């Protein structure tokens, strides 16, 4: 019995000492295993419709709080973006609760306030709750003061609240945390900044406490292509951010294409970035969802297999894009923006079974 006990202790010690080679590329074989866990072939249709048929409802961000599910989503009403909150008990049936980021006059974000949850538990099949920092829960958002669809200068703002489950206005910071007009801006973000997603790097793999992934638009000086690409920035206090020197971290260099809207999950030892691509000449459809994987949160390797979500139904026959994925009680839920050729846009969901 003593020998068995010693062997067991030794095995545990060896496991504890196991090192992850974070510099190793992620192979397609490894990503095939990820694909089998995240694929969602069963489409359920649109679960959140715009209150007004002329509005464009977009960009789901799903989290859990006090035993219920909540979804931040945005709507364009002709003037700009505002952010709404919906509630659910089962991830399939949703009730709109109201606005949480409304237009405000005279500010840098007067007409564009499109929000996304920050600091979510990113463990696959985990709690999906938001982390509280400095007494508040946080979101990042697209911020701008020009009227129109994603018009004018678009920067990244942050807002906080003590009650993410309530349809109350979140309190915004006085200035953006990242801005394409910053002196230290990079070429890939020189035109606009779009969706952002902040995670807590608890192991400080990147050397910092917080990491923000965001897609932005700019012209590549090497080939002259104007496109959207995903970059990253670091912070230790959520207020001051330093851009990664070798941005962008994920891009597909075709002129006027989009690689955007990142969401990070951790599956085993791999980090998975769900995102969408659009307007690739090689694809039979215009926009779709896929993923990339990383070991170190910096070097990302694109999945080359079957796309996760793409147009197949009447309600998503133009665009099926902008992921938010959760795995709950053995079922994977993939929320996405569904757009049809008639101009309707809502939030749809697909599941693994």
So where are the chain's domains? 33-351
CB 227 within 8 A of CB 257: yes
Q: Are 114 and 141 in contact (CB under 8 A)?
A: yes
Do residues 95 and 70 touch, judged by C-beta distance below 8 A? no
245 and 232 Cβ atoms separated by less than 8 Å: no
What are the phi and psi torsion angles at 30 (to 5°)? -65, -40
- CATH number of the domain at 33-351, please? 2.115.10.20
User: Strand (E) positions, 89-235?
Assistant: 95-101, 112-117, 137-144, 155-161, 171-172, 192-200, 210-219, 226-235
β-pairing, 226-235 vs 42-48, is: unpaired
Determine the Cα–Cα distance for residues 148 and 218; give it in Å rounded to an integer: 19
CA distance 191 to 148: 16
- The span from the CA of 91 to the CA of 94, in Å, is 7
- Per-residue tens of pLDDT for the chain, all 353 residues: 444 444 444 444 444 445 678 889 999 999 999 999 999 999 999 999 887 878 999 999 999 999 999 999 999 999 999 999 999 999 999 999 999 999 999 999 999 999 999 999 999 999 999 999 999 999 999 999 999 999 999 999 999 999 999 999 999 999 999 999 999 999 999 999 999 999 999 999 999 999 999 999 999 999 999 999 999 999 999 999 999 999 999 999 999 999 999 999 999 999 999 999 999 999 999 999 999 999 999 999 999 999 999 999 999 999 999 999 999 999 999 999 999 999 999 999 999 99
pLDDT digits (tens, 9 = 90+) for 225-264: 999 999 999 999 999 999 999 999 999 999 999 999 999 9
pLDDT at 50: 81
Give the H or E element holding residue 188.
Answer: none
Would you state the structure tokens that stand for residue 348, as one six-digit string?
């749809």
Give the side-chain half-sphere CA count within 13 A for 266.
17
pLDDT at 18: 53
């Amino acid at each position: 019995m003593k020998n068995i006990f010693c062997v067991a202790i030794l095995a545990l010690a060896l496991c504890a000492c196991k090192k992850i080679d974070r510099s190793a590329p992620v192979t397609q074989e490894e990503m095939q295993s990820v694909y089998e866990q995240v694929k969602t072939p069963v489409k359920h249709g649109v679960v959140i419709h715009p209150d007004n048929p002329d509005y464009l409802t977009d960009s789901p961000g799903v989290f859990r709080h006090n035993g219920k599910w909540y979804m931040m989503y945005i709507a364009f009403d002709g003037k700009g973006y505002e952010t709404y909150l919906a509630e659910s008990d089962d991830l399939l049936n949703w009730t709109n609760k109201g606005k949480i980021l409304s237009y405000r006059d005279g500010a840098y974000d007067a007409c564009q306030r499109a929000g996304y949850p920050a600091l979510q538990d990113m463990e696959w099949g985990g709690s999906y709750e938001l982390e509280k920092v400095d007494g508040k829960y946080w979101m990042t958002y697209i911020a701008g003061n020009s009227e129109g669809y994603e018009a004018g200068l678009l920067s990244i703002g942050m807002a906080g609240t003590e009650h993410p489950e309530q349809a109350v206005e979140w309190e915004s910071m006085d200035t953006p945390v990242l801005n394409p007009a910053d002196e230290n801006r990079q070429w890939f973000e020189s035109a606009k900044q779009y969706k952002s997603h902040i995670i807590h790097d608890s192991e400080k793999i990147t050397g910092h406490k917080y990491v923000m992934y965001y897609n932005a638009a700019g012209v590549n000086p090497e080939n002259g292509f104007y496109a959207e690409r995903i970059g990253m920035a670091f912070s230790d206090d959520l207020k001051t951010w330093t851009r990664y020197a070798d941005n962008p971290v994920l891009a597909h260099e075709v002129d006027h294409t989009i690689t955007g809207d990142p969401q990070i999950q951790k599956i085993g030892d791999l980090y998975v970035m769900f995102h969408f691509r659009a307007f690739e000449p090689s694809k039979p459809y215009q926009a779709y969802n896929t993923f990339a994987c990383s070991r170190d949160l910096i070097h990302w390797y694109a999945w080359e297999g079957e796309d996760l979500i793409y147009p197949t139904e009447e309600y998503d026959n133009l665009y099926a894009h902008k992921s938010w994925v959760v795995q709950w009680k053995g079922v994977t839920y993939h929320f996405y923006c569904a757009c049809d050729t008639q101009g309707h846009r809502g939030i749809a969901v697909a599941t693994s079974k």
